[in-house]
């Protein structure tokens, strides 16, 4: 039983570390070239979410105002209008 619990713990930790690393890499891309990141938002976000296991969506908020969100849901599309 203890072995099974350790495996579950390991899998949870591995997923958290993986997604944290991916998020840090994503933040580095945005910090190094913000204009590139905004111009290619869908492509970059899709790549990030395709590799992440626990992240469901991602947003970009220059000046603390969310301007980019991926994926766009119907409710978000209404908010953009």
pLDDT single digits (tens) 9-42: 999 999 999 999 999 999 999 999 999 998 999 9
Nearest to 52 by CA among 12, 15, 7, 24: 15
Strand pairing partners for 60?
A: 68
Q: How many residues does the chain have?
A: 81
Query: What total of structural domains would you count in the chain?
Result: 1
Q: Which range among 9-18, 33-42, 60-69, 70-79 shows the weakest confidence by mean pLDDT?
A: 70-79
Nearest Cα to 79, choosing from 54, 55, 57, 69? 69
Instruction: State the residue range of the domain holding 30.
Output: 2-80
Q: Which residues of 46-68 are buried (b: 16+ CB within 10 A; e: fewer)?
A: eebbeebeeeeebebeeeeeeeb
């Amino acid at each position: 039983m203890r072995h099974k619990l350790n495996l579950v713990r390991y899998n949870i930790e591995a997923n958290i570390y993986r997604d944290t690393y991916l998020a840090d890499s994503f933040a580095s891309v945005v910090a190094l070239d913000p204009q590139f990141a905004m111009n290619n938002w869908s492509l970059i976000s899709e790549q990030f979410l395709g590799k992440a296991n626990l992240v469901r969506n991602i947003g970009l908020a220059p000046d603390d105002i969310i301007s980019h969100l991926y994926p766009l849901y119907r409710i978000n599309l209404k908010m953009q209008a």
